[in-house]
Amino acid sequence: KQEVTQIPAALSVPEGENLVLNCSFTDSAIYNLQWFRQDPGKGLTSLLLIQSSQREQTSGRLNASLDKSSGRSTLYIAASQPGDSATYLCAVFRGGGADGLTFGKGTHLIIQP
């Protein structure tokens, strides 16, 4: 059974710092990995999707990497801003039309002004 773990569970840093969020998964047989952002009381916003054949994806100040063989992904946020404060979720998709996404519990990020 696939399990996804995110470390740290919570993180508070001053504005302007670069930071790394970690995600690990137990079953490396995945089709893709997706990073989401969730604001309090809101839905999920997709940030980056990495296919299993890819090593990384970039969007603006965000960069996500994937090491499928070791079951790890990182989300790098450059020059953090207070507006980046949210919960960041990592999810893996096994594919084959089954199970949907398996989510981690998230990293609750606070960027101090």
* Binds another protein (CB under 8 A): choice among 21, 23, 25, 34: 34
Q: Count CA atoms closer than 13 A to 34's CA, side-chain side.
A: 17
3-state secondary structure at position 51: strand
* Binds another protein (CB under 8 A): choice among 49, 56, 76, 108: 49
d(CA 38, CA 108): 9
23-49 burial, b if ≥16 CB within 10 A, otherwise e?
bbbeeeebebbbbbbeeeeeeeeebbb
Instruction: Outline where DSSP puts E strands in 26-85.
Output: 32-38, 44-51, 56-59, 62-67, 72-77
Does 101 help bind another protein (rule: CB under 8 A)? yes
Per rule CB under 8 A, count of chain residues that contact another protein: 27
Does 60 help bind another protein (rule: CB under 8 A)? no
Q: CB of residue 21 vs another protein: minimum separation in angstroms? A: 15
Q: Which stretch binds another protein (CB under 8 A): 17-25, 58-66, 68-76, 94-102?
A: 94-102
In the complex with another protein, the residue whose CB is nearer, 75 or 91, is: 91
- For another protein, the binding residues (CB under 8 A) are 4, 31-32, 34, 36, 41-46, 49, 51, 89, 91, 93, 95, 97-106
